[in-house]
Amino acid sequence: MKIQLQTPPPIKFGVMLMAVLIFSAPFVAIATQHSVMLEAKAAAEADAEAKTSKSTWLTLGCLGGLIAVAAGYVYAPSPPAGALLGKSPEYIAAYSDAYAQKAKGIQRRYAMYGCVLNTLGSVALAVAAAAAEESEGN
């Protein structure tokens, strides 16, 4: 005759509860980290939109042409230090990446606008000069 020992039901429940808690902890940490990253990205994009000088990059695009556009691709502004004080390393990394990406996009866009504006202005001046020269010739 074989004797089997059975675990009482409360112990089974306790073991199952501990297993669920242990294995669910990483998912809670991942969800928390994801929400921190989303919060950092939203704050960084808003700050980059507010702090990146659009008129400066438009002027640089007008005066510098394609060199200014290339500078917009290369130059990565640093995020404001005040926005990062007391934040976790994950928040700082996500904020810095999102800030640089958004600011560079604004820089490129407005440098390109300035370059196109310069080109259109130059073409308009050339056409006006040609028309004036032609009218003087008649």
Supply the DSSP symbol for 7.
-
Would 92 be classed as within a structural domain?
yes
Would 2 be classed as within a structural domain?
no
**Burial of residue 98, with CB atoms counted within 10 A of its CB: 0-12 exposed, 13-18 middle, 19 or more buried:** buried
Please count the structural domains in the chain: 1
DSSP string, 37-104: HHHHHHHHHHHHHHHS-HHHHHHHHHHHTHHHHHHHHH--PPPPGGGTTT--HHHHHHHHHHHHHHHH
Would 34 be classed as within a structural domain?
yes
Length of the chain: 138
Would 87 be classed as within a structural domain?
yes
Distance of CA 20 to the CA centre of its chain: 37
Would 1 be classed as within a structural domain?
no
From CA 45, how far away is CA 102, in angstroms rounded?
Answer: 6
Residue (of 94, 111, 1) closest to 53 by Cα position: 111
Please tell me the number of Cα atoms within 13 Å of 91 on its side-chain side.
Answer: 14
From CA 104, how far away is CA 59, in angstroms rounded?
Answer: 16
Q: What is the pLDDT of residues 61-112, one digit of tens each?
A: 999 988 999 999 999 898 998 888 999 988 999 999 999 999 999 999 999 9
Q: What is the pLDDT of residues 25-50, one digit of tens each?
A: 666 556 566 788 889 999 999 999 99
Range of the domain at 79: 9-137
- Quickly state the pLDDT bin for 22 (edges 50, 70, 90): confident
* The model's pTM: 0.70
